[in-house]
Amino acid sequence: MPKVLEANLLAEGKKFALVVSRFNDFITNRLKEGAVDGLLRFGARDEDIEIVKVPGAFEIPLLAKKMAATGRYSAVICLGAVIRGATPHFDYVSAEVSKGIAMVSLDSGIPVIFGIVTTDT
């Protein structure tokens, strides 16, 4: 039988940064509420959660990098919404946000959670 390594979902005693996009806030506010609720259910305290709002999804990786670099957080949770319109803007933003968040995670060595909704109109 192979050895299986599986993480426990325990937030007690940990600190979390949430980087949340203000654009499409009818979606991102709910993502934020759900993330905070989940963290609290698994033992985090309100004072262990810091929320930073950025204008749009494109700005998320930069702020995630800055938050991760402080060394204060056990994880950074990135939340945003990119909605496809009639122009190729969606493709550019989605691709760069995805790459940027992945780079922050790999470079920082801490979990950087990808919570970006990409959807059609």
Task: Tell me 86's DSSP state.
Answer: S
Structural domain range at position 49: 14-80+111-121
Q: What is the per-residue pLDDT across 6-30, written as a single tens digit (0 to 9) for each?
A: 888 899 999 999 999 999 999 999 9
- Answer whether residue 87 is part of any domain: no
Please, are residues 27 and 117 in contact by the beta-carbon 8 Å criterion?
yes
- Answer whether residue 74 is part of any domain: yes
Q: What CATH number corresponds to the domain at position 40? A: 3.40.50.960
- Answer whether residue 39 is part of any domain: yes
Alpha-carbon distances of 34 from 26, 28, 61, 116, rounded to whole Å: 13, 10, 20, 13
Q: What is the per-residue pLDDT across 36-94, written as a single tens digit (0 to 9) for each?
A: 999 999 999 999 999 999 999 999 999 999 999 999 999 999 999 999 987 888 899 99
**Residues labelled as active-site residues:** 89
Number of domains in the chain: 1
Q: pTM of the predicted model, to two decimals? A: 0.92
